Structure 1
Amino acid sequence: MALSSPRQVHSMSVQSPDDLAYLFECPVCFDYVLPPILQCNSGHLICSSCRPKVQCCPSCRGPLGSIRNLAMEKVAENVRFPCKYCNSGCTLRLLHTEKRSHEDVCEFRPYACPCPGTSCKWHGSLDEVLGHLIHTHKSITTLHGEDIVFLATDINLPGAVDWVMMQCCFEHNFMLVLEKQERHENHQQFFAIVQIIGTQKQAENFMYKLELSGHGRRLTWEAKPRSIHEGVASTIGNNDCLIFETSMVQHFGENGNLPINVTISRV
């Protein structure tokens, strides 16, 4: 009697569009080649940003023209590409039409030094920001507690001036920034804002209150802190902070100093 051996069944795995992202790697910058997709005469891809930088195809050394690969552009429409900050923790995969706009605001993108008015070009991860401030910007005062008083000294100094303080509470670090700017000719104003050394998602958990008081007067501003990712300039540009005229300092300051009460609270 003949014995039959079991049949071996070969299964073909079907790749999802997301698995095809590796096909779009640029051989020059190793980022993804996104539409418009250019190729050499042999079909090797190169991104539109790198194309002006090279004279021949980096893959085969063949001539480079301005040939569009319309077939790969069609494929790219259905591929979800990893965010460029995936190695920093971002897990999103996006259509190429969404990728650049997301990366402009991705919370995992590198952080710039949050100190205003400096020429510091430092960039790093969120976990590195505090260490950078402590070791590089040693003049910044750090106060502990959810309700503190920051004393801005020499408030009458001429020109554009910045005052910066760090506040530590609720296991987070916050930065108070007070800026004196001349937006219009011979018209100076003060702008005060609190930022969290953290993400915008973390900022949503807190409120801050700035209060100037003295000589029977009180000026108060309450808002949610901004992430240092957003920066001070955009917030001031939108007038989304405490704003007061230089002429008002005389009502709250004393001996050239201005006390600002800063209160951080959980939402």
Structure 2
Amino acid sequence: MSLCSLVMASGVAYFDDVRVSLEVADTPINEDNIESAEHLGEQIQHSSKSSVVVAGNVRELLECPVCLNAMYPPIHQCSNGHTICSGCKPRVHNRCPTCRHELGNIRCLALEKIAASLELPCKYESFGCIGIYPYYCKLKHEAQCMYRPYNCPYAGSECTVVGDIPYLVNHLKDDHKVDMHNGSTFNHRYVKANPHEVENATWMLTVFSCFGQYFCLHFEAFQIGMAPVYIAFLRFMGDDSEAKNYSYSLEVGSNGRKMTWQGVPRSIRDSHRKVRDSYDGLIIQRNIALFFSGGDRKELKLRVTGRIWREQ
């Protein structure tokens, strides 16, 4: 019997099957729970059941009253029938947030059954995704959807703006006043009056337009352990699969010496902090940076040159 037949059937046989396939410990949603739900959704996807048009009130039934996110198995309920997701159950100290009755370990198998029959549009539909997905596959798709918006790549602020690439480019230019340059080569000069104040270093970002794409050049001071350093790296304004089509090089030096770096730009899907803390870029120790700066070694004067190219 197909899963869809089970969904439409009634009686003990269905609930026994659901208990076997979905029963997990009373813990917050984790990867195991999601994988179990995805497996069930994949079975539905291969069935011949047509898409279900979901009314707004049905979607509301599947919304956790605490976190307001969609609920996935195990879905819990109190003795009065109020539901809550497994992630929020321990947060409310096993008390129903609606009626304050004890939650216990009651599963809402009926609601799980309804969820298993649903097919929903991606939540990024407004960004261009036209896919319709079984309820239990939807979460995995949305985590990887190519239409999901990007976070603002500007570092050094708590900017919460999200959007597609054209929107973010205009946002960086208009709201963050970043430097915009055309071309695949660059020659930047970074000056700081007191380079010893590493923790107060200014965040710097430059956006380059070349090959029909946009790239973000970061340069900043931070510390590796107790050692003050500077780092320069490039991020690609797009997904990682596209970023791998490009390479870049950075060079800094003076007095007959130079340091070079060659790498692949990281996607802005990876946060600025994640890239920086992985040391994936040109790292310059402060004493070397001051040596390159010349003079009395009390002022940072670094010239960073670079090039971006497309791999064949």
| Short-chain TM bin | 0.7 to 0.9
Deviation of the 1:50 alpha carbon: 7.8
Structure 2: how far apart are the matches of 1:195 and 1:103? 23
* Shift, 1:78, TM fit: 7.9
TM-fit CA distance, 1:36 = 1.7
Aligned residues: 245
Match of 1:26 in 2: 60
Matched, 1:55 2:98: yes
Match of 1:142, SS?
strand
Matched, 1:154 2:188: no
Does 2:163 align with 1:124? yes
Greater percentage in strand: 1
Q: Residue 198 of structure 2 aligns to a residue in which SS?
A: coil
- Which one-letter code corresponds to 2:183 in the other structure? G
Gaps of 5+ in 2: 1-46
Could you tell me how far 1:189 is from its partner in structure 2?
1.1
Offset at residue 197 of structure 1 (A): 1.9
RMSD value over aligned CA atoms?
3.5
Once the two structures are superposed, the pairs formed by residues 1-267 of structure 1 within 5 Å of their partners are 16=48, 19-20=51-52, 22=54, 25-27=59-61, 28=63, 32-38=70-76, 47=85, 54-55=97-98, 67-73=106-112, 82-91=121-130, 99-100=138-139, 103-138=142-177, 140-154=178-192, 156-157=194-195, 158-160=197-199, 161=201, 162-185=203-226, 187-254=227-294, 256-267=300-311
Give the TM-score normalised by structure 1.
0.74
**Higher relative helix content:** 2
TM-score when scaled to structure 2? Answer: 0.64
Separation in structure 1 between the aligned mates of residue 71 and residue 309 of structure 2, nearest angstrom: 46
Q: Separation in 2 of the partners of 1:26 and 1:163?
A: 44
Distance 1:91 1:46, change over 3 A: farther
State the identity %. 29
- Shift in Å, 1:225: 0.9
Measured in 2, the distance between the counterparts of 1:82 and 1:48 equals: 24
C-alpha contact 1:38 1:48 (8 A) present in aligned 2: yes
Gaps of 5+ in 1: 1-14, 57-62
Do 1:152 and 1:163's aligned partners in 2 also have CA atoms closer than 8 Å?
no
For 2:131 and 2:250, locate their aligned partners in 1 and report how far apart those are by CA, in whole Å.
37
SS of the residue 1:68 aligns to: coil
Instruction: Give the Cα–Cα distance (whole angstroms) in 2 for the partners of residues 240 and 16 of structure 1.
Output: 48
